[in-house]
Amino acid sequence: MAEVEIKNLSKSFDDLNVLDNISLKINEGENVVVFGRSGTGKSVLLKCIVRLMEPDAGEVLIEGEKVLTLSLKKLNELRKQIGFLFQSAALYDSMSVRENLEFPLIRNFNFLPSEREKKVKEVLEKVSLSDAINKMPAELSGGMKKRIGLARTIITEPKLILYDEPTTGLDPITSKEISQLIVELQKDLNTTSIIVTHDLICAKIIATHAVVLKDGKIRYEGNLDNLTSKDDPFLKDFFSSDIINEKYERN
Amino acid sequence: METKTNAPKELSITSKRLTDFFSTVTGLSLFSIEFFKNVFLPPYEFAEVRKHMDELGVKTLPIVSVTGFIIGLVLAMQSQPVMARFGAEAFLPGMVALSVVRELGPVITALIFAGRVSSGIGAELGSMRVTEQIDAMEVSAINPFKFLVVTRVLACTLMLPMLTVYVIFLAIFGGYLAIFLSQNINFVLYLHAVVRSVDFTDLIPGIVKTFFFGFIVGIVGAYKGYNTENGTVGVGQASTSSVVISSLLILLVDMVLVKITIFLWK
């Protein structure tokens, strides 16, 4: 499991302050859901955590390691323990599903071919897509791509997983299935997760903790259930949907 | 009056173009330095290089075959009446061979290669960039530069000289066909005239410069693709500008290398 600490993180693009002095602590084993309107820097926050983007100021600590000042070698060692599910799943177009899944194993770990094969089959079974092993990404539907993306993320058994809108663009049933899958994986692998989403059902299923971003700052941090009881017009407006009041139990 | 109003706008467009030009030159130079830093470091992606040599090089064979053959054929057909006017028809095989070996073969092959391969690399890496596949590689602790850029640039650098040698042979054969049709010349006699007029001092510079051209094709395509912005529009721009920049650079570098060759071999 991994503990993540973000200290006074700021990032701007030209004149636009996307993240403005954000501080946040995520404890080991927590599933933190990050909400916010489009363009409020949720994905930027995730990318800054793994240093896919360099912030203008601030600090990110993962298991006490200062991510932003690590050498590339040490950063890559740390990245081997982190999984990142991209909004578009980001499957490698030129590789089959099997090759996509084997790719991080071949490059970063010394598994025997038989062990790799076993791992590939295991994760495909977890995402219920064993039949897709020899397909190319272009032959998969949006939901299947997300599942394979998830399988590729967990195949290295990371301690920290970052999800960038894991259910966006999916139908409600697939969306719910993926959310439940994330919870199952979190329990199986004992990971810490940060999930950026607009999907309240997904959040209800996954979240142990919620953060709301507005204008580059944290507007709310705490329990998901207390969100609607806040006397904040923005939060009331954002979470006005009745969905939040429905009962979706964590699996 | 109108000129006065448009002047600041035109100035700003010119200044933007100049800035773009210098930023491309700087970016391309730094990108090339990054290539040389990475190319000698392990892990060595031999399998990937071989795969790209096949995809980028071998699959270019049909188009360069047709081009090479036609260059030789047309060159001989066009030159024949002129040579005949000076009573120098006997030198026609040598003239065709020298033109093809020293200049036309390397440059035309490189330009065709740029049109097919540089744009392909630009578009492929560009779409990988905008669909976050390069980010996915980076976040998985895999060096995307080494895996995607170094392998492609190496494949281009190694394949273009081989393609050029092949094109030269085809062009010489095309030249023979044109001369045979008008003069009914014997093939052995033609080959003898070719071998007698082409020296190693003609062949070596012609082939050596294709290593530079291959590098240009690969590095420009990879640079434009790897740094693509603005979604699918950016992918299109990366593909187009890869061809334009690499073609221009090939001609510029050719000019410089010809000058150096003349200086060194005279």
Closest B-chain CA to A105: B140
* Residues sharing a CB contact under 8 Å with residue B181, sequence separation 6 or more, in sequence order: none
Q: Between chains, do B140 and A79 touch, taking CB under 8 Å as contact?
A: yes
Residue A11 lies in a domain: yes
Does residue A186 or residue A131 have the better pLDDT? A131
CATH number of residue A96's parent domain: 3.40.50.300
- Chain A CB contacts of B132 under 8 Å are 86-88, 90
Identify the pLDDT of residue B1: 46
- For chain B, what is the largest distance between any 2 Cα atoms, rounded to a whole number of angstroms? 73
Local structure of residue A179 (DSSP, 8 states): H
**Is A23 within a domain?**
yes
The CB density around residue A6, as the number of other CB atoms within 10 Å, is 23
Quote the CA–CA distance of A121 and A129 in Å, as a whole number: 9
Please, are residues A40 and A214 in contact by the beta-carbon 8 Å criterion?
yes
Q: What is the pLDDT of residues B16-52, one digit of tens each?
A: 888 888 999 999 999 999 999 999 988 888 999 999 9
Contact (CB<8Å) B142/A107? yes
| CB-CB contact of A60 with A49 (8 Å) | yes
A108 touches chain B (CB under 8 A): yes
Question: How buried is residue A206: exposed, middle or buried, by Cβ count under 10 Å (0-12/13-18/19+)?
Answer: buried
Contacts of B142 in chain A (CB under 8 A): 103-104, 107-108
CA distance A46 to A87: 12
Q: What is the mean pLDDT of chain B?
A: 92
Rounded Cα gap, residues A103 and A117, in angstroms:
12
- Model pLDDT, residue B140: 93
Residues in chain A with CB shorter than 8 Å from the CB of B136 are 84, 86, 90, 92
Q: Give Dmax over CA atoms of chain A in angstroms.
A: 57
Q: A30-34, A189-193, A244-248, B202-206: which has the minimum mean pLDDT?
A: A244-248
* B138 contacts A90? CB cut-off 8 A: no
Chain B residues touching residue A86 (CB < 8 angstroms): 132, 135-136
Asked if A84 lies within 8 A of B139 by C-beta distance, the reply is yes
Q: What is the pLDDT of residue B231?
A: 87
Chain B partners within 8 Å of A104 (Cβ): 140-142
Q: Please judge whether B132 and A79 are an interchain contact, meaning their C-beta atoms are less than 8 angstroms apart.
A: no
A251 domain-assigned: no
Whole-number Å distance between alpha carbons of B112 and B53: 16
Number of domains in chain A: 1
pLDDT at B95: 93
For range A220-237, the mean pLDDT: 77
Residue spans per domain, chain B:
51-265
Inter-chain residue contact A79 with B135, CB threshold 8 Å? no
d(CA B81, CA B85): 6
CB contact under 8 A, A86 and B136: yes
Question: What is the rounded CA–CA span in Å between residue A65 and residue A78?
Answer: 9
DSSP assigned state of A134? T
**Chain B: closest CA distance from residue A218 (Å):** 26
CB of A154 less than 8 A from some CB of B: no
Give the 3-state secondary structure of residue A244: helix
pLDDT at A251: 45
Examine the pLDDT at B151 and tell me if it is beyond 90: yes
Question: Could you tell me the pLDDT band of residue A226, with boundaries at 50, 70 and 90?
Answer: confident
A144 within some domain: yes
Cβ within 8 Å, pair B127-A93: yes
- What confidence tier does B8 reach under pLDDT thresholds 50, 70, 90? confident
Q: Which of A87, A90, A108 sits opposite B133 (nearest CB)?
A: A90
Mean pLDDT of B138-166: 96
Structural domain range at position A231:
4-245
- Residue A24 pairs in a beta bridge with A6
The pLDDT tens digits of the residues spanning B109-129 come to 999 999 999 999 999 999 999
Quote the percentage of chain A above a pLDDT of 70. 93
End-to-end CA distance of chain A: 20
Does A169 fall in a domain? yes
Q: Which residues of A touch B127 (CB under 8 A)?
A: 93
